[in-house]
């Protein structure tokens, strides 16, 4: 493998690491926003996160040609650079695992919030239906007022 190719490989590893590190931080912030119920801010964050997820996909496509290469056949001009890239690669794998965990936790929290709101809406609807039934009993159709007797006589 040519030195330029190794340098490209190393730069892509660094970019991938930086991107995953940022996505990890955004994932943590996302979970905080979900827990705080700050949906407007969450939507803005998700928009930003989408751009970085797309960047990660591009980096992945650029790394694809290197996947089939035997790592032992790569000739690194600098052993320190090789070790640094290996360390970044391992950290990136850890970030990726943690990002998935954060996403799953966030999804669970959003589902809990959705279910809670659904129960609240059902309670409100049930209360409204009870109120409406009570109101119908007080004011039945036909103009008569419920709960009153006509005690007048026509003698």
Q: Kindly state whether residue 121 falls inside one of the protein's structural domains.
A: no
User: Would you say the C-alpha torsion 30, 31, 33, 34 has a positive or negative sign?
Assistant: positive
Q: Kindly state whether residue 103 falls inside one of the protein's structural domains.
A: yes
Q: Kindly state whether residue 55 falls inside one of the protein's structural domains.
A: yes
Q: Kindly state whether residue 122 falls inside one of the protein's structural domains.
A: no
Q: What is the pLDDT along the chain (155 residues), one digit of tens a residue?
A: 455 599 999 999 999 999 999 999 999 999 999 999 999 999 999 999 999 999 999 999 999 999 888 888 889 989 999 999 999 999 999 999 999 999 999 999 999 988 888 887 777 777 667 677 777 777 766 555 555 656 666 65
Asked whether 31 and 102 are in contact (CB, 8 A), the reply is yes
Nearest partner of 99 among 29, 47, 13, 44, judged by Cα:
29
Q: Kindly state whether residue 21 falls inside one of the protein's structural domains.
A: yes
Q: Kindly state whether residue 104 falls inside one of the protein's structural domains.
A: yes
What is the structure's pLDDT at 58? 98
Q: Kindly state whether residue 17 falls inside one of the protein's structural domains.
A: yes
Asked whether 88 and 13 are in contact (CB, 8 A), the reply is yes
Q: Kindly state whether residue 72 falls inside one of the protein's structural domains.
A: yes
Which domain does 100 fall in, by range? 3-108
Name the helix (H) or strand (E) containing 11: helix 3-36
Domain count, the chain: 1
């Amino acid at each position: 493998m040519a030195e330029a190719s190794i340098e490209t490989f190393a730069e892509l590893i660094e970019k991938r690491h930086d991107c995953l590190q940022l996505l990890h931080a955004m994932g943590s912030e996302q979970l905080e926003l979900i827990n705080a119920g700050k949906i407007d801010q969450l939507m803005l964050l998700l928009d930003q996160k989408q751009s970085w997820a797309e960047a990660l996909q591009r980096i992945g496509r650029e790394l694809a040609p290197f996947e089939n290469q035997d790592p032992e056949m790569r000739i690194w001009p600098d052993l320190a650079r090789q070790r640094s890239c290996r360390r970044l690669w391992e950290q990136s794998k850890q970030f990726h695992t943690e990002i998935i965990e954060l996403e799953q936790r966030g999804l669970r929290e959003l589902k809990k919030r959705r279910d809670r709101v659904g129960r609240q809406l059902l309670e409100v609807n049930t209360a409204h239906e009870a109120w409406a039934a009570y109101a119908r009993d007080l004011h039945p159709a036909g103009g008569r007022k419920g709960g009153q007797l006509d005690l007048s006589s026509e003698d």
